[in-house]
């Protein structure tokens, strides 16, 4: 192991730790609810999920739900982060000898901290498929029986994670054609594909006619695939479109150089270029309405590009150049640290925005879920809950809790009430306390389920207390002397009214007295 290997490993571990801390307010969202419903039976593992074979992802969630249920989201977040980190780790381990340790680590860093980084745990299927692609690429570069097993295993792994594995199959087919591979290699490629086609023919229902009619023309789909393939180069250019075009030009020039030596010499380049186009065409075919929100797919495309440029054998430099490279290698550890700092600083603003949005949504969904499972909240079974891709009702969510275990803090009314209240001070002069005696001082006020109550303090600080769902009075916050504040009372989808009282202060409005 070289110093650069150790630095790279430390960066990966530190990144996972930092992400895990940043994501501490994430909770079950979107696909995670749908997967929890599908894996209630073992047969659900092989049923289509969004028309894909997703047995790996569903199996992971079946295991985690069986152990942790909905009591905590931390294990799900950790598994998702480890799956994402497996992409650069697999790339570095399989290519460090051919590229050289510094170059391999540098390229892997681009996959560890890509632009528009998405760390949603439910999206780990793309991470698994990309890791399988890297394993397959390692096998394709060799010709032994051992390499055939890597090809078959990587392909099967990708196909069992998501439909994006078809792009990896395309790479295997193109590579085998260019290299005129023996029957063993063809078997390693075709066997996983045949199994996947058989599953799809048996398990996936025919496409509805209205979807076929609504799909754009073939020319439009090809144009979309080409445009997004170019965007994958922008991803590697740290989000700079000009840098993306420069990388694309270098990519094309390298392809031309290799093609001059024949199809066999250009096999890797052609195989993974084809995989990139198949990947984006498949997305355009199945998700043309949502392809503008393609941040979660860009990293997969970047993996295809990097796999295309990796040479089949280690580059052998002439002796004079080798001696100069040895001097350059001494600066490699510092260079990797500088590159990591640049890549991370470029990605971090987008990541903070992603985390802020997802944390707010996760906190709200967590509180709603606890309220749904709380009898005192009086949430009817047919109340619609916006927690899955296709909204479901409270009864269905309670059924999931019975199957896998209740959410964290279930039954903790004090926690639910405290977390559902926010106190914010108004700007000076925007809302002032009345002169003289406060109206409604010390009285209890009932409010509608979702309310915004204005309160003001006079000569002393005012303590705001609330209660709901039969809880005792809970101190929600304090308003300083002479200031006014707004008390936000979230409804948590329950019809139960709030009760509020203010000690040493005035209720200015917003409640039903």
Provide the 8-state DSSP code for 423: E
Q: Token match 């406060």: residue? A: 438
Q: Is 413-509 a CATH 2.60.290 domain?
A: yes
- Rounded distance between C-alpha atoms, residue 287 and residue 215, angstroms: 9
Q: Is the pTM of this model over 0.95?
A: no
For residues 53, 225, 95, 90, the Cα torsion angle rounded to the nearest 10 degrees is: -30
DSSP state of 288: G
Q: Which residues pair with 139 in a beta bridge?
A: none
Closest CA to 237 of 228, 229, 246: 246
Token pair in block for residue 72: 């905590």
Tokens of 27: 């909770």
Tens of pLDDT along the chain (513 residues)? 688 899 999 999 999 999 999 998 889 887 888 899 999 999 999 999 888 899 999 999 999 999 999 999 999 999 999 999 999 999 999 999 888 888 899 999 999 998 878 888 888 889 999 999 999 999 999 889 999 999 999 999 999 999 889 999 999 999 999 999 999 999 999 999 999 999 999 998 888 888 888 888 899 999 989 988 888 998 888 888 899 999 999 999 999 999 999 999 999 999 999 999 999 999 888 887 777 655 678 889 999 999 999 998 876 655 566 566 666 667 788 889 999 999 999 989 888 988 988 888 888 888 888 998 888 988 888 777 666 545 678 888 889 999 999 998 888 899 999 989 988 887 655 555 555 556 555 567 788 888 888 888 877 888 888 999 988 999 888 888 878 888 888 888 889 999 888 887 777 765 444
Residue 93: C-alpha distances to residues 85, 86, 99, 108, 134 (Å): 12, 10, 11, 10, 10
Interior/surface letters 3-33, b for 16+ CB within 10 angstroms, e for the rest: ebbebbeebbeebbeebbebbebbbbbebbb
Provide CB contacts within 8 A for 319, sequence distance 6+.
none
Q: How many CB atoms lie within 10 A of CB 41?
A: 9
Distance (Å, rounded) from C-alpha 235 to C-alpha 295? 9
The residue written with tokens 């990896």 in the block is 168
Q: How far apart are CA 88 and CA 111, in angstroms?
A: 6
Residue spans of the domains in the chain: they are 73-200+218-334, 413-509
Give the pair of three-digit tokens for residue 415.
């926690």
d(CA 72, CA 436): 50
């Amino acid at each position: 192991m070289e110093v650069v290997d150790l630095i790279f490993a430390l960066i990966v571990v530190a990144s996972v730790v930092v992400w895990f801390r940043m994501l501490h307010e994430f909770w079950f969202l979107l696909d995670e609810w749908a997967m929890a419903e599908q894996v209630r039976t073992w047969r659900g593992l092989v049923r289509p999920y969004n028309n894909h074979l997703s047995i790996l992802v569903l199996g992971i969630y079946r295991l985690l739900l069986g152990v942790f249920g909905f009591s905590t989201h931390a294990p799900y977040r950790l598994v998702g982060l480890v799956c994402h980190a497996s992409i650069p780790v697999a790339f570095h381990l399989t290519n460090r000898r051919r590229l050289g340790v510094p170059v391999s680590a540098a390229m892997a860093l681009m996959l560890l901290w890509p632009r528009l980084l998405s760390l949603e745990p439910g999206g780990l299927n793309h991470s698994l498929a990309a890791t399988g692609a890297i394993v397959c690429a390692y096998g394709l570069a060799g010709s032994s029986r051992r390499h055939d097993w890597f090809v078959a295993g990587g392909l099967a792994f990708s196909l069992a994670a998501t439909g994006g594995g078809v792009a990896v199959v395309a790479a295997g087919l193109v590579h085998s054609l260019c290299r005129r591979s023996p029957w063993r290699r063809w078997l390693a490629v075709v066997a996983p594909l045949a199994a996947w086609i058989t599953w799809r023919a048996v398990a996936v229902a025919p496409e509805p006619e209205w979807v076929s009619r609504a799909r754009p023309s073939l020319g439009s789909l090809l144009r979309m695939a080409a445009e997004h393939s170019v965007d994958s180069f922008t991803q590697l250019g740290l989000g700079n479109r000009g840098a993306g075009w420069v990388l694309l030009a270098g990519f094309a020039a390298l392809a031309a150089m290799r093609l001059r030596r024949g199809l066999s010499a250009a096999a890797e380049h052609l195989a993974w270029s084809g995989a990139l186009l198949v990947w984006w065409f498949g997305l355009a075919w199945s998700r043309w309405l949502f392809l503008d929100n393609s941040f979660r797919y860009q990293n997969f495309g970047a993996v295809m590009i990097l796999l295309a440029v990796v040479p089949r054998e280690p580059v052998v430099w002439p002796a004079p150049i080798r001696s100069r490279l040895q001097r350059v290698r001494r600066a490699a550890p510092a260079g990797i640290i500088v590159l990591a700092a640049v890549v991370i600083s470029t990605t971090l603003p987008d990541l903070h925005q992603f985390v802020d949005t997802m944390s707010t949504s996760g906190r709200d969904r967590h509180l709603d879920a606890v309220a749904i499972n709380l009898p005192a909240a009086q949430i009817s079974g047919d109340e619609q809950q916006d927690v899955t891709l296709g909204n479901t009702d409270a009864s269905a969510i309670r059924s999931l809790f019975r199957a896998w275990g209740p959410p964290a803090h279930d039954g903790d009314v004090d926690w639910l009430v405290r977390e559902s209240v926010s106190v914010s001070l108004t700007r000076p002069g925007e809302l002032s306390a009345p002169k003289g005696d406060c109206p409604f001082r010390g009285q209890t006020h009932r409010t509608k389920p979702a309310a915004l109550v204005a309160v003001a303090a006079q000569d002393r600080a005012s303590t705001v207390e609330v209660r709901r769902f039969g809880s005792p009075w809970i101190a929600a916050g304090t308003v300083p002397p002479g200031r006014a504040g707004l008390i936000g009372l979230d409804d948590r989808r329950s019809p139960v009214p709030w009760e509020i009282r203010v000690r040493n202060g005035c209720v200015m409005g917003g409640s039903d007295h």
